[in-house]
Amino acid sequence: MAKSNLADVIKQCIESIGSLEDDEKENAVAAVSAALGLKGSTRAARPIDPPPSNDGTDPNTLGDAKEFFKNKNPQNKGESLAVAVRFLELKSSATEHTKSTIADVFKSARRDFDLHNFSRDIKNAQNQSRLFNLGGKRDNYQLSYYGQQYVDALPDRNKLTKLTKPRKAGRRKKASKKRARRASAKH
């Protein structure tokens, strides 16, 4: 590149980058150096800090159960149970909870807790919605990984559509047994 062209390029770069804030200038220069593959640049580009998330999962800014429910805005019984258990997880860092501790969260959030239909509702949240893990200790309930992601995504329903819902384990086993029977019948 000729010297006159180099001077023009430098002038254009300075004009373009000059309007940025000081931190942005450093990032821009470092990013251009890295993009051009220049060795010996004085520093690597600093990652831009993401904005603080306001999804209610920070235990330090969690607030009370009433506020957590209001922010998450559950639309059905399964979601409400999952929100209550996620609140307990974040507040106490315990992963398994009993019916009574879940009921306490509902009471402190000033929400109705359907004691008589709790078993039905939790089974639906386990089997149909996949929000809770199956098995485990008797009368202890644990959110599944999907359930945690689900509650953390609330109230944004668009984020929920992007989550991958886990498959039912029983169907997969039956299909493999059928394949094994077919394979043995052919031989």
Domain boundaries, the chain: 1-48, 59-166
Written as six digits, the tokens of 58 are 């920070």
Q: Which region, left, alpha or beta, applies to residue 172 given φ > 0 means left and ψ of -120 to 50 means alpha?
A: alpha
Q: What is the per-residue pLDDT for 30?
A: 72
End-to-end CA distance of the chain: 73
Segment-wise mean pLDDT, segments of 10 residues, the chain, 187 residues: 63 74 72 66 45 49 86 93 93 87 94 92 90 84 92 90 79 64 73
Beta bridge partners of 132: 143
Q: What's the CA gap between 31 and 29, in Å, rounded?
A: 5
Written as six digits, the tokens of 49 are 């800090």
Q: What is the per-residue pLDDT for 171?
A: 54
Given a contact cutoff of 8 angstroms between Cβ atoms, the answer to whether 45 and 27 are in contact is yes
Q: What is the per-residue pLDDT for 92?
A: 87
Number of residues assigned to the chain? 187
For 59-166, CATH number out of 2.30.30, 1.10.260, 1.10.287, 1.10.10 equals 1.10.10
Comparing CA positions, the residue from 100, 29, 108 lying closest to residue 67 is 108
Given a contact cutoff of 8 angstroms between Cβ atoms, the answer to whether 162 and 150 are in contact is no
Given a contact cutoff of 8 angstroms between Cβ atoms, the answer to whether 126 and 134 are in contact is yes
